[in-house]
Amino acid sequence: MAEDRTFDERLASIARDLLNEPDTQHTLQRVVDAAAENLDGTVWASVSLVTQRREIETPVVTDDRAGHADRLQYELAEGPCLDSIWEQETFQIEDMTTEERYPRWARAVAERTGIRSSLSLQLYTDEEHNSLGALNLYSPVPGAFDAETRGEGLAFAAQAAVALRSAQSEQHLRTAMATRTLIGQAQGILMERLKITPDQAFAVLSRLSQHTNVKLREVARRLVETGEIPDGRK
């Protein structure tokens, strides 16, 4: 039975499952679901993700209370997941009702969600600790995260970070390939209509992108979808 397997065995199985998820969103959801299912006690999990604009958002949760706790951190600009992302690998709160580092956030979380303790673990994959975000674990019980649970959480976060980085890289690759295909189709239309070379067709698309301040991919998409050659092509 799955319940009889050791944590290491469960972690290995989770790692394989994470790498088989179809995209970043599914990978992240699997991360939080697995964390909530495999760590001891009642755990509500979320991921705080660093976006390309260096902003932070929570795209997945296992419980709305975890999402609410995250959002309060972003609104108040204080909290353990923010410190975990930008300052250090792991950040723990034993009891929200006595927490003094983030008084506004901790009191609000305890009152509005019933969360009493938390553990935030940085997600990173390189020696410079360039942060992808944080895995946030919340519990309605004070002092819920002991040394063993922290160790398991760290191992879990490491696997989650590798899977997340892999999913992001694969998604970027798919996006790049789709963009190249789209631009190639737009070039083909221009070449056939205007009797020009591939380089000339690409120059037409680039010039229109610059003149209209519209991304090259979007210019190509509009041409492919409408079949109309845009103004300013000459």
* Measured distance CA(51)–CA(28) in Å, rounded: 14
Counting every residue written for the chain, the total comes to 234
At 119 the pLDDT is: 95
* Measured distance CA(54)–CA(18) in Å, rounded: 24
Which residue in this structure is represented by tokens 């938390």?
Answer: 118
At 167 the pLDDT is: 65
* Measured distance CA(59)–CA(98) in Å, rounded: 29
At 194 the pLDDT is: 87
At 1 the pLDDT is: 39
At 226 the pLDDT is: 86
* Measured distance CA(107)–CA(233) in Å, rounded: 61
**59-94 residue pLDDT tens:** 899 999 999 999 999 999 999 999 988 887 789 999
At 127 the pLDDT is: 55
Per-residue pLDDT of the chain (234 residues; tens, 9 = 90+): 345 677 667 767 776 776 777 777 888 888 889 888 888 889 999 999 888 777 899 989 999 999 999 999 999 999 999 998 888 778 999 999 999 999 999 999 999 999 999 999 988 766 555 678 889 999 999 999 998 888 888 887 887 777 777 666 666 666 677 778 888 888 888 888 888 888 888 888 888 888 888 888 888 888 888 877 766 444
> In the chain, what are the domains?
2-171 (3.30.450.40), 173-226 (1.10.10.10)
Q: Where are the beta strands (DSSP E) in the chain?
A: 44-50, 56-61, 90-93, 117-124, 131-139
At 137 the pLDDT is: 96
Cβ pair 137, 120 in contact under 8 A: yes
At 164 the pLDDT is: 72
Burial 100-119 (b: 16+ CB within 10 A, else e): eebeebbebbbeebebbbbb
